[in-house]
Structure 1
Amino acid sequence: MLGKKKHFTVFWYSPKEGYFKKIHLRWQLVFWALVVFVVGVGAGVGGVLWYQSRMRRELCYAVERAESLKKEIILLENQKREQEERLQALNQKAQNILQELSALRELDQKVRTLLEKDLQSRFNKIGINLSLAGASPEIYVPLDRFMEMGFPLFVVGAGGPLFMEFPSATLPVLPRVVDPTFAQRSRMLDDTLSWMQAEILARQHSFEEILQVIQRKEELLNLVPMRWPTWGRISSNFGWRKDPFTGLRAWHTGVDIAAPLGRNVVSTAEGKVVFAGWNGNYGKCVIVRHQFGYETVYGHLSQILVRVGDQVKKNQIIGKVGSTGRSTGPHLHYEVRRYGKVINPWPYLP
């Protein structure tokens, strides 16, 4: 009930006790109580609305992030598939190259073996060493290690909690799209390619070395008297023989090659003409000086086609078969000397 001007009067009846109570409330107190109540209710309602709005925003953000992660997962899966396909292609290519390198190494050894035999048959017997035994290159690559391509793979461990701004906002569990072994496999493949590059360089060096030896061989074949000076029948060998004039046992310093009068006589190696003219029992004679201390003598010529001081090539015609000097008929007396000493020409005749 409304009291006088300055306060309210409120009557309270208690039915259990059977009496009335009267309470006086001032206007100011009632007013401020209503103000506090209204402000509190408004603040509570506003807080609830703000929290709901914020949760809606976070939920929208979480949904958008989940969609973005889904797109990233699809992209990563595509990249992983492409990487796997490329890695498999590179592994196959490396396998093919390893097989080719293995065949190339075998070819290298075969070429060296054949060349070694040829060099021994041609040069070792005359004191010139072109051996490849000490020139075989080091085997840089243990090819057997890579032929199976069984690379050991080690999974690199990692972990830790995933930081989320709102732990209550749960996102779906994402599948693993990054292969933890890919980096290790890539490094192993890089190592294999590096080994193969080293092996290729080794084979290249080996074949270059073989080519150098072959070139030296061809040069030596031109510098050392290693061919027939003319074509014909051997009428007298090097060494002891029965002298055709006296019938007595005598030492023959060369090889006599019977041939028709006028047949070409060629130099058996490159060299310099140091004698061209009449030389006693040799008749018309040419002497050519070669490298490594060699000299070749061509006797009983019918015609001389070079002069002293001429530089002659291998296979160059230097005279004609004749029967001048101490001779019983047309033939060529061919003689090989080394450092002034007469030697057997047979090792030099192919």
Structure 2
Amino acid sequence: MKQRIKIWFHSGNSPEIREFTLRKSILICFLILFIACTGTVLYVGHDYYLLKQADHDNAALLETVANQKNELKDQRRQIQIFAGEIQGLKDQIAKLGRLENQVRLIADIDKSGRSSGIWGIGGVSKVDLDQEIPLDAHHHALIREMHHQVKQIQSVADKEKLDFNDLIDKLTKKKNLLASSPSIKPVSGIITSPFGYRKSPFTGKRTFHSGLDISNRMGTEIVSTATGKVVFAGRKTSYGNVVIIDHGYGKATKYAHVRDILVHKNQQVKRGEVIATLGNTGRTTGPHLHYEVLVNGTPVNPSKYILN
């Protein structure tokens, strides 16, 4: 006799009890089928979950790769910009070199032996950096060349710094030399007696006149013809009231027969600064300035030093 399984159901709304009878084999088959279906659903669901997870990870990975590609392009674009800036620095250094050469030419100052020039050995490379490399191409060669040229630029910049310091030092010395060189007329007026041999107005004999005599009315302002230091301001026998200024570099100027002395000994004066007024003190035949230029103590022709 086949085994059967009875199942009773009771509903709370009815007093009746229902009975179902199932064969044991059918129940077992149903349970097996249920378990198989449940297992299949779970397997398919798990596989679907893994597939969705992989799809999500793949999308995230693709987004990361895309971001990295964009970042790489931005970096390469920056590299190209830097290459352009390096090229600009090279051009600026070249301009500075040309400017330095122009200044040296104008000021007649030779270049020191410390410099090897802007271009050539030890200088900046003449090779232009390729800024037009496609963004999807490798930039390794460009980066290496940039590093190389940056080092060269630094080296040349250090040399140019030395050259400019040398130039400034020499220009300063030249400026001081020029400022110390008598170059203007000490007083307005007429030159009544030039530098050199002449007939003495007092003795009538041929004598050497060591300066220029410039005549004008009494009280006319007399200026220093160069920057310097007053080393004498007082009276000297036949010269009358005298101002002597030391300009350095072996140069000095003398202003004689002045009426009023407006400076004092050891006073620093500038070119064009009023130092006295024209007079006729000492041995003179009339109001005038006796002006001398001395180089290493020897009188020279003042006319050669008057540029105005």
TM-score band, normalised by shorter chain? 0.5 to 0.7
1:113 to 68, 89, 105: 105
Check whether the contact 2:233–2:263 (CA below 8 A) recurs between aligned residues.
Answer: no
* AA aligned opposite 2:129: M
Q: Write the distance in 1 (CA, Å) between the matches of 2:273 and 2:64.
A: 82
**Cross-structure match for 2:237:** 279
Distance 1:304-1:90 versus aligned 2 partners, 3 A rule: closer
SS of residue paired to 1:134:
coil
Aligned ranges for residues 269-348 of structure 1 at < 5 Å?
269-280=227-238, 282-307=239-264, 309-314=265-270, 315-348=272-305
Which structure 1 residue ranges, 5 or more long, are not aligned?
A: 1-55, 117-130, 154-176
Aligned-pair CA distance for 1:78: 2.0
Q: What is the CA-CA distance between 1:215 and the residue it aligns to?
A: 3.0
1:262 partner SS: coil
Distance 2:263 2:80 in 1: 71
Please, what is the CA RMSD of the aligned residues? 3.7
Report which of the two structures shows the higher radius of gyration computed on alpha carbons: 1
Within 5 Å, which residues of 2 pair with 1:1-350? 70-71=62-63, 73-116=65-108, 131-134=109-112, 137-139=115-117, 142=120, 145-146=125-126, 148-149=128-129, 181-268=138-225, 269-280=227-238, 282-307=239-264, 309-314=265-270, 315-350=272-307
Q: Please tell me whether the aligned partners of residues 277 and 304 of structure 1 are also in contact (alpha carbons under 8 angstroms).
A: no
Q: Is the 8 A contact 1:140 1:195 kept in 2?
A: no
When structure 1 is superposed on structure 2, of 328-337 and 76-85 the one drifting more is 76-85
Q: Is the 8 A contact 1:76 1:178 kept in 2?
A: no
| Change beyond 3 A, Cα 1:66–1:310 | closer
Query: Do the aligned residues in 2 keep the contact of 1:236 with 1:257 (CA within 8 Å)?
Result: yes
Please state how far the C-alpha of 1:107 moved relative to its aligned partner: 1.4
SS at match of 1:149: coil
Summarize deviations over 1:286-319 as a string: whole Å, max 9, x none: 2334433433221122233344x34241244332
Tell me, what secondary structure is at the counterpart of 2:177? helix
Q: Any idea what the Cα deviations from partners look like across 1:211-259, whole Å, max 9, x if unmatched?
A: 3333333333444444332222322222223434455443211112222
TM-score normalised to the size of structure 2? 0.67
**Counterpart AA for 1:266:** V
Which secondary structure does the structure 1 equivalent of 2:282 belong to?
coil
Counterparts in 2 of 1:237 and 1:105: CA distance versus 1, 3 Å: same
SS at 1:145 equivalent: coil
Query: Aligned equivalents of 2:245 and 2:75: distance in 1?
Result: 72
Secondary structure at the counterpart of residue 228 of structure 1: coil
Identity of aligned residues (%): 29
Kindly state the Cα deviation for residue 277 of structure 1 after the two structures are TM-superposed: 0.8
Query: 1:327 offset after TM fit, Å?
Result: 2.7
Q: Closer, same or farther in 2 for the Cα pair 1:303/1:79, shift >3 Å?
A: closer
Distance 1:329 1:136, change over 3 A: farther
State the distance in 2 between where 1:318 and 1:234 align: 20
1:238–1:345 Cα contact (<8 Å) kept: yes
SS in 1 for 2:93: helix
Question: Match of 1:297, SS?
Answer: strand
Q: Distance in 2 between matches of 1:273 and 1:246?
A: 31
Unaligned 5+ residue runs, structure 2? 1-46
Q: Closer, same or farther in 2 for the Cα pair 1:211/1:73, shift >3 Å?
A: same
Does the CA-based 8 Å contact 1:271-1:313 persist in structure 2? yes
Normalised TM-score (structure 1)? 0.60
